[in-house]
Amino acid sequence: MQKVLRIGTRDSQLAVWQATLVQNLLKEAGVSSELIYIKSEGDIDTVTPLYDLGVQGVFTKTLDAALLNNRIDIAVHSMKDVPTQLAKGIQPAAVLKRASYKDIFVYKEEKAIEELGYVNGQWSMVNNHESILTTHHSPFTIATSSIRRIAQWLHRYPHHQVDNLRGNVNTRLRKVQENNWQGAIFAAAGLERIEIRPENSVDLNWMLPAPAQGAIMVVCREEDEAAFEGCQSFHDTDTALCTKLERDFLRTLMGGCSTPISALATIENDEVVFKGNICSKDGKQKLDIEKKVLSADADMLGVLAANELLNQPSVLKIVQDIRNAKN
């Protein structure tokens, strides 16, 4: 009799949606499964900013522990939350085809995005450290708990204020309406997957995403061949390559998820286009890199891009400052 795979998931609406997607894909492959709900530390503590929790894998470690303790057979994660170094004894089982990788801004009033420079569906160009229109207006406050989003936002809009925003996507959307903010930043994929993206939202095309944003990763125990093979039917090789390069870039620069480091790899006509950046936490400095190679030669592209940045003294200073702040 075929084994019924136990799928570990957080109990938020988005996490359950992702786990159910995997369950349906397993069913299409002829594999039976059931959902096992597990609450993570990141779900329990919705007050402390993510960058102050002091651990990697805040949303994944509880599921990983359940996996290693044989309470579940596979765990489903938003890939951007997965540490670049998996826990010992755990291996990737599948990376699903990526959804939108973009960040979006959910605003309360139309005049807010106009003040940001979004007119007729386009973002206006901004000079470094020169906020458009906002310098002489009342304080402009946005909300996010992501250090990466904060750094890129303050680089573009240095006069703005940023407040902490925690909770699942439904809670965060509600908080936007309840607080005195002009808006908040979300991942497009999360809101679009559960069909709650508001009409009053715009893509932040100028903001580079977190490594692996928009991708879903399934992990299993290293020795569990049945679980691994059961997930291979929905493993997407293009997404796996692109997210590997992005996570290699992150790991080579810093190694942690909660850092002001962004990366995006896309495949265009058998070529991989890689874009990455690192910011100082206050947004005053941002160093970018862009590279393009044939897909067949791309395996080390993320590492090469990171090392190229690390050859710049200003990048080494940013990395050192971030590490000192974490200690």
Strands ordered across the beta sheet of 286-294: 261-268, 271-279, 286-294
Q: 198-227, pLDDT tens digit by residue?
A: 999 999 999 999 999 999 999 999 999 999
- In which residue are the tokens 């069909």 written? 195
Q: What is the pLDDT of residues 306-320, one digit of tens each?
A: 999 999 999 999 988
% of the chain with per-residue pLDDT over 70 = 88
Helix/strand/coil for 150 = helix
| pLDDT band with cut points at 50, 70 and 90 for residue 136 | very low
Task: Identify the weakest region by mean pLDDT among 40-44, 51-55, 112-116, 119-123.
Answer: 51-55
Known catalytic residue at 81: yes
Give yes or no for residue 50 having a pLDDT over 90. no
Please name each of the domains of the chain with its CATH number: 5-98+215-235 (3.40.190.10), 103-203 (3.40.190), 250-326 (3.30.160.40)
**DSSP assignment letter at 212:** T
What strands, in cross-sheet order, belong to the sheet with 201-203? 161-163, 141-143, 183-187, 103-107, 201-203
Mean pLDDT of 237-245: 98
Rounded CA gap, 292 and 170, in Å?
A: 38
pLDDT of residue 55: 38
Question: 121 in the Ramachandran plot: left (φ > 0), alpha (ψ -120 to 50) or beta?
Answer: left
List 64, 81, 103, 224, catalytic entry: 81
Please state the pTM of the whole predicted model.
0.89
**Of residues 151, 179, 154, the one with CA closest to residue 165:** 179
